[in-house]
Structure 1
Amino acid sequence: MAVTGGILVMFLVLHMVGNLKIFLGAEDFNHYAHWLRTVGEPAVPHRTVLTLTEVVLGLAVVLHIWSATSLARRARAARPVKYHSKKKSHAHGYATHTMRYGGVIVLLFIIWHLLDLTFFVVNPKGSDATPYERVVADFDPSRWYITIWYVLAVLLVGLHLWHGVWSAFNSLGLRSRRNEKSLRLLAGALSVVIALGFIAAPVSITFGWVS
């Protein structure tokens, strides 16, 4: 679960950096979107690298969900009788208790995101527009409810990351008494940066700062 989570975190960082290119203007953003489909040419056919990346990410998502389900079942089997009282976690209590439901919402968000900007099924501009035009149309001020949905979903992604990255440090044996505080700060900072990075573009478009 930690390894697949790490793969997904690396993808989120790279995806966030690419999204921020929208602030450089339509030409730069469209060039970036075109580059994603032509990287590796002419050594490999068109879209080969992107397709392989999508396959790896798809497998990582499936294995991540399978790992989460398997661990939950093992935990229940290990202690079929519930604790009389639960000790509340202070730093990560809310994140811990909402990981399961947050994960489901994140999965629904991924499906919507693919239908919107990969398959163009729910995008207002459809397949005939440029990548820049599709993103701007998505978060047009008249579609403020989409922006709110996007922001809430990204905040849940950030919450999921906060607890997930911290748990990964534990699972991979990287945590010690000496670096525990630093790793907590790193997990929190990474989650905040990724969340803000993804929120920046839709909010800017909705308020007219990018058009």
Structure 2
Amino acid sequence: MATATATTRRPPALLVFWRSTIGKKSVMAVTGLLFVAFLLAHMAGNLKIFFGPAEFDHYSSWLRMIGSPVLHSSWYLWGQRTVLVLALVLHVTAAVQLSKRDRRARPVRYAHGRRPRASFATHTMRWGGATLAAYLVWHILDLTAGVANQDFQEGHPYHNVVADFGVWWVNLIYIVALLMLGLHINHGFWSAAQTLGIRGATRDRAIKTTGTVLAVVITGGFLIVPIAVMAGWVS
């Protein structure tokens, strides 16, 4: 009697990688480093505000012309936004799924309700990520779409930034989000290096130092703009 053997089709290797814990951690590491690179470039651009309205507005206009004449106006900018949104979706999805997987693996809470040797930054990673996601939506509505900025003027980014940070509660939202960002980078950079296999006692110290420096530079670089507006250095 002949027996029929069912052939099981193996899922694509990329899907297998994504479903694995190390795959999700690797996606988080790579997308996280991409965000750090973007934030450094974005911060450097923001600091052009100290050179005056003409310089800052020209920089904003230049961003829309990157790739010209090969690319039409804003094509590069929208391409960059698409990549960042895709990276954000992957980063958040991987984080949520890993968190659920971790809770399923350990249904009993840790003693005293916390993991041993976990730093303050580690404890704030989850809530910090949620805070940053909410702030990102606000930031787009505020300075990109102009919906949340009552004095928004299309094509005048210098004016929009000054008008925005002239409101105390907007600064408060911005400062809280940036402090969360600093904590996120400080711990996330070290975690990404561990995931990508960059380990060792000497390297570990160097990576932690680098992560701290990046967190301080990025947080401080973004914070100096609202501080300058509030202090009247930029008006």
TM-score, normalised to structure 2's length?
0.84
Structure 2: unaligned runs, 5 residues or longer: 1-27
Paired letter, 2:99: A
Paired letter, 1:24: F
In the alignment, which residue of structure 2 is the partner of 1:181?
A: 205
In the alignment, which residue of structure 1 is the partner of 2:124?
A: 98
Is the counterpart of residue 144 in structure 1 residue 168 in structure 2? yes
In the alignment, which residue of structure 2 is the partner of 1:79?
A: 106
3-state SS of paired residue (1:45): coil
In the alignment, which residue of structure 2 is the partner of 1:132?
A: 158
In the alignment, which residue of structure 2 is the partner of 1:112?
A: 138
Per-residue CA deviation, residues 54-88 of structure 1 (Å, 9 max, x unaligned), is 00000111110001011112212222233345454
Q: Is the 8 A contact 1:124 1:134 kept in 2?
A: no
**Equivalent of 2:227 in 196, 200, 203:** 203
Alpha-carbon distance in 2 for matches of 1:78, 1:207? 51
Paired letter, 1:5: G
Paired letter, 2:84: L
Paired letter, 2:195: S
Alpha-carbon distance in 2 for matches of 1:39, 1:127? 22
Q: CA RMSD in A?
A: 1.3
Is the counterpart of residue 168 in structure 1 residue 192 in structure 2? yes
| Residue 128 of structure 1: how far off its partner (Å) | 3.5
Q: Is the 8 A contact 1:139 1:146 kept in 2?
A: yes
TM-score, normalised to structure 1's length?
0.94
Alpha-carbon distance in 1 for matches of 2:111, 2:165? 48
Alpha-carbon distance in 2 for matches of 1:56, 1:3? 13
Per-residue CA deviation, residues 12-64 of structure 1 (Å, 9 max, x unaligned), is 11100000000111111001000011111111111000000000000111110
Alpha-carbon distance in 1 for matches of 2:132, 2:102? 23
Q: Is the 8 A contact 2:165 2:171 kept in 1?
A: yes
What number of residue pairs does the alignment pair up? 207
Alpha-carbon distance in 2 for matches of 1:131, 1:162? 30
Moved over 4 A (4+): none
Paired letter, 1:175: R
Higher relative contact order (CA 8 A, sep 6+): 1
Alpha-carbon distance in 1 for matches of 2:111, 2:173? 38
Alpha-carbon distance in 1 for matches of 2:45, 2:71? 22
